[in-house]
């Protein structure tokens, strides 16, 4: 019994870190989820310091193939999420609100559903929340691995690309709508 109590307290601490929305899960440790502190608000990376995003693609939730070529010429918001992730359940509907505001201004949103046990859970979440932007179903986290130079291996994570397909901002942890809007406004204001 004495050995079980510390293990139970440790598990509770992990769950409470996730439930507050203040944490993120590191999914590169053999499939185990480890929650750590989130980073502060994202900032735009100066244009001269931006690196090209890797090419990636996959199968969309609900079917159909998709490639990163579809983002050409647009500012793009890539959000790594899972229906099992409490901060994601708050953040994804908020992303839908921002998407509705900016989709006609040359901004694309793409969800990247990772580490989901069953595609039905992801699809049910998207449907129940009225999410209109597409999501790739990536249970093995292959796209996150393509972005291994950025903290896309944490859930939630968001990477914002400029119109030239370069990584312009990176968030680990949940993103506040105002922070996302500020980054998008800055990138849309670039020539």
pLDDT along the chain (191 residues), means of 10: 37 31 42 43 82 95 95 96 92 95 96 92 95 95 83 81 96 89 93 69
Residue 145: what pLDDT? 85
| CATH code for the domain of 73 | 3.40.30.10
C-beta separation of 41 from 176 below 8 A: yes
Q: What is residue 151's predicted lDDT score, i.e. its pLDDT?
A: 63
Cite the DSSP H helix spans in 20-130: 86-102, 119-129
- Residue 106 φ/ψ region, left for φ over 0, alpha for ψ in the -120 to 50 degree band, beta for the rest: left
Q: What is the pLDDT of residue 144?
A: 84
Q: Which residues form the domain of 157? A: 4-188
Say what the pLDDT of residue 172 is: 85
Please state the domain count of the chain: 1
Check: CB of residue 111 under 8 Å from CB of residue 89: no
**In whole angstroms, what is the distance from residue 155 CA to residue 88 CA?**
8
Q: In a 3-state reduction of DSSP, which class is residue 11? A: helix
Answer yes or no: are the C-beta atoms of 75 and 187 closer than 8 Å.
yes
């Amino acid at each position: 019994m004495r050995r079980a109590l510390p293990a139970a307290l440790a598990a509770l601490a992990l769950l409470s870190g996730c439930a507050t929305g203040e944490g993120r899960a590191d999914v590169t440790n053999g499939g185990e989820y480890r929650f750590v502190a989130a980073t502060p608000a994202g900032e735009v990376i100066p244009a001269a310091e931006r690196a090209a995003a890797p090419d990636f693609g996959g199968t969309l939730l609900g079917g159909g193939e998709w490639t990163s070529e579809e983002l050409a010429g647009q500012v793009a918001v890539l959000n790594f999420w899972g229906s099992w992730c409490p901060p994601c359940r708050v953040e994804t509907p908020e992303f839908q609100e921002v998407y509705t505001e900016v989709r006609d201004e040359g901004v694309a949103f793409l969800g990247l559903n990772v580490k989901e046990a069953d595609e039905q859970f992801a699809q049910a979440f998207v449907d129940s929340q009225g999410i209109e932007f597409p999501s790739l179903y990536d249970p093995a986290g292959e796209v996150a691995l393509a972005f291994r130079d950025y903290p896309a291996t944490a859930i939630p994570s968001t990477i914002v690309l400029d119109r030239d397909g370069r990584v312009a901002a990176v968030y680990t942890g949940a993103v506040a709508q105002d922070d996302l809007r500020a980054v998008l406004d800055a990138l849309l204001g670039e020539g």
